[in-house]
C-alpha cells in the first residue's frame, strides 16, 4: 500500500459506537498514524475545566484547533478519532459510525456511566445528531455513515476502505 499519498480521516460518532476500536484497526491496515482527540485535549491541557453535570471536559476549541492544525501539517497520513468536530476543510473523509440502539445501550451500560449520560447518548444516536452536525460543518459529499454493530471491527474497516477507494482510489 502506498505510504506516501496523503490521507486524512476523521472517525466520529456517538460515545461507544466504536471510534477508537475502528480507528486503531484502520491505522494498522492503512499505515496511518492514530490520534485520539480526547487524548490531545488532556495531554496538552486544552480545556477550561470539567462539567460535572455532563461528565465531560470543557474543551478550549481555539487551542485545540491550533494544535490539531499543527499535527496535521506535520503528518499527512492520519486517522483522528473523536466525538467532537473541531476542524473545517481538512479531512478527506469523515466517517460517522453508528450502532443499533440495543447494542449501544449494552456497550454504554458496561461503562460506569450515569443513567443520564447513557440516555443522552442513546438520544443523540436516535436523532443522528453527529451526522447532521457533520454535514452542516463539512462538505456533505465527504461525510459517510457506517454501521459498526453486527459486523466485526475488521469488516467495518473493510467498508471504510471501500468508501476511501470509491472517493479517491489514488489515495489507496
Ligand atoms: N464491531 C464491533 N463488534 C463488537 N464490539 C465492538 C465493535 N466495535 C467496538 N466494539 C466494542 O464497543 C465498545 C466501545 O468501543 P470504543 O471504545 O472503540 O468506542 P468509542 O466510540 O471509541 O467510545 P468513546 O466515545 O468513549 O471514545 C468496546 O468495548 C469495543 O470493544
Ligand atoms: Mg474512544
Query: Tell me: the pLDDT tens digits for 77-118?
Result: 999 999 877 788 889 999 999 999 999 999 999 998 889 999
Check residue 172 and give its pLDDT.
52
Q: Which of 15-19, 57-61, 83-87 has the lowest mean pLDDT?
A: 83-87
Distance of CA 120 to the CA centre of its chain: 18
**Checking DSSP bridges between strand 33-36 and strand 77-81, what pairing results, if any?**
parallel
Q: What is the pLDDT of residue 1?
A: 45
- Residue 11 CB less than 6 A away from ligand 1: no
1 lies in some domain:
no
* pLDDT (average), residues 119-128: 97
Atom of ligand 1 nearest to the CA of 156: 1
How many CB atoms sit inside 10 A of residue 55's CB? 12
* Mean model confidence pLDDT for the chain: 91
Question: Which domain range does residue 160 map to?
Answer: 7-166
- pTM for the structure as a whole: 0.93
Ligand 1 atom closest to Cα of residue 153: 1
**83 Cα nearest atom in ligand 1:** 25
Which residue out of 107, 108, 120, 122 has the highest number of ligand 1 atoms within 8 Å of its CB and is therefore the one to mutate? 107
The mean pLDDT of 22-28, rounded to a whole number, is 98
Residue 118's domain is classified under what CATH number? 3.40.50.300
Closest CA to 120 of 12, 16, 23, 22: 16
Residue 146 lies in a domain: yes
Q: Does residue 172 form part of some domain? A: no
Q: Please say if the pLDDT value at position 145 is more than 50.
A: yes
d(CA 14, CA 19): 9
Residue 141 belongs to a domain = yes
Assigned domain for 171 exists: no
pLDDT at 90: 86
The closest ligand to the CA of 147 turns out to be 1
Cα separations (Å) of 123 from 15, 51, 85, 156? 11, 20, 19, 23
- Is the separation of the CB atoms in 130 and 12 below 8 Å? yes
The answer to whether residue 2 sits within a structural domain is no
d(CA 4, CA 115) in angstroms, rounded, equals 46
Tell me, yes or no, whether 77 lies in a domain: yes
Q: In the predicted model, is pLDDT for residue 4 greater than 60? A: no
56 lines ligand 1 (CB under 6 A): no
Q: Is residue 82 part of a domain?
A: yes
- pLDDT at residue 55 tops 60: yes
Q: How many domains does the chain have?
A: 1
Amino acid at each position: 500500500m502506498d505510504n506516501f499519498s496523503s490521507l486524512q480521516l476523521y472517525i466520529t460518532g456517538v460515545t461507544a459506537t466504536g471510534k477508537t476500536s475502528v480507528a486503531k484497526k484502520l491505522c494498522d491496515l492503512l499505515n496511518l498514524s492514530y490520534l485520539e482527540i480526547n487524548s490531545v485535549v488532556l495531554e496538552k491541557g486544552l480545556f477550561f475545566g470539567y462539567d460535572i453535570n455532563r461528565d465531560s471536559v470543557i474543551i478550549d476549541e481555539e487551542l485545540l484547533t491550533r494544535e490539531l492544525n499543527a499535527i496535521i501539517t506535520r503528518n499527512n497520513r492520519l486517522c483522528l478519532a473523536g466525538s467532537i468536530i473541531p476542524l473545517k476543510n481538512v479531512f478527506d473523509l469523515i466517517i460517522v459510525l453508528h450502532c443499533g440502539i440495543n447494542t449501544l445501550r449494552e456497550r454504554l451500560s458496561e461503562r460506569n456511566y450515569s443513567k443520564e449520560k447513557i440516555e443522552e447518548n442513546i438520544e443523540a444516536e436516535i436523532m443522528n445528531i453527529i451526522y447532521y452536525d457533520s454535514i452542516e460543518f463539512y462538505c456533505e459529499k465527504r461525510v459517510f455513515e457506517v454501521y459498526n454493530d453486527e459486523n466485526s471491527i475488521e469488516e467495518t474497516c473493510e467498508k471504510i476502505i471501500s468508501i476511501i477507494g470509491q472517493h479517491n482510489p489514488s489515495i489507496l
